[in-house]
Amino acid sequence: MFVVTLLTKPNSDRLEQDLVESLRQKWDGTDFMWLAPKEVAEFSLSDMPLDREVVWTELQAKGIDLLIQFASRRRKAILLADMDSTIIRQECINELAIEMGIGPQVQEITARAMNGELNFEESLISRVRFLEGQSEKVIDTVWNNRIDFALGAQTLLQTLRAFGVYTVLVSGGFSAFTSLVAKKLGFDEHHANQLLIKDGKLLGKVARPILGRSSKVKILEEVTQRLGFSKKDVISVGDGANDLDMLRASGTGIALHAKPALAAKCDMRVNFGDLTSLLYLQGYSRDLFVKT
């Protein structure tokens, strides 16, 4: 069996009952149910629709996401989440560079790396070089003034933790920020790259080995083995090309507002919903959400 989930931008009321019912009949699905009225609906199917990509394209033009997954084992035991442009709205290295007055140089490299046009590890090394000599206080300045959480982040973390889900923040960014995000939102653990600092100054270097694309999969494997679960028990979310292997290795991998290079290679794509989409996709209705 498969589950079809239709969702749209929160509080937009774009998802009409007639549209959901029409698609359910077209695909011979079971009766649909609202997980959030006029925002999220789901129904079950016995077979994967052959025209799903065509329908997906039509629905995207209406501001609606369509996701189809196996019905079994929908609810996961572990969350693995990217940080930059996923759990938070910003790319931390870009914000550091902007604070230093060198934003454009670094932003261009970041954009190309996140779209898979550049090797992630090499691009990170080149971007971090721009930070050499800056006071470490710039980290606190950026955190306090330039970083905010993505929509739905707090609800996602608090709800999953209330249901006993183990949560892991895994980032190709910097531990100086993942530590703060993890503490604020309540992640059980966090992993990222370490900016090297000496005498209160950034050295323009990161500690080795660099946490990149393959490292995220290794962390997934280590966490599941340590906790006694399988990869099928993991839901993961990310937005950049360096998240692809992690998403593919997970039981459910969600490309959230993803860069084109990642979106083109993922079936589970959320372009209009926010981070609470990860709850709906696991069958949580809005009345089960922990209020923030």
- Catalytically annotated residues: 82, 84
Separation between Cα atoms, residue 262 and residue 246, nearest integer Å: 11
- Which string of b and e fits 29-62 if b means at least 16 CB within 10 Å? beebeebbeebbbbbbbeeebeebeebbeebeee
Retrieve residue 15's tokens: 């998802």
* Contacts of the segment 12-17: beta carbons below 8 A, 24+ positions apart: 12/39, 12/63, 13/38, 13/39, 14/38, 14/62, 14/63, 14/64, 15/39, 15/40, 15/41, 15/64
Radius of gyration of the chain (CA): 20
| C-alpha distance from residue 37 to each of 6, 14, 61 (Å) | 11, 10, 20
The torsion angles phi and psi of 126, rounded to 5 degrees, stand at: -70, -35
The distance from CA 202 to its chain's CA centroid, rounded to whole angstroms, is: 28
- Residue 206: strand, helix, or coil: strand
Retrieve residue 38's tokens: 């006029």
Dihedral sign computed on CA atoms, order 120, 122, 123, 128: positive
Separation between Cα atoms, residue 72 and residue 126, nearest integer Å: 44
Dihedral sign computed on CA atoms, order 220, 83, 125, 141: negative
Q: What's the residue count for the chain?
A: 292
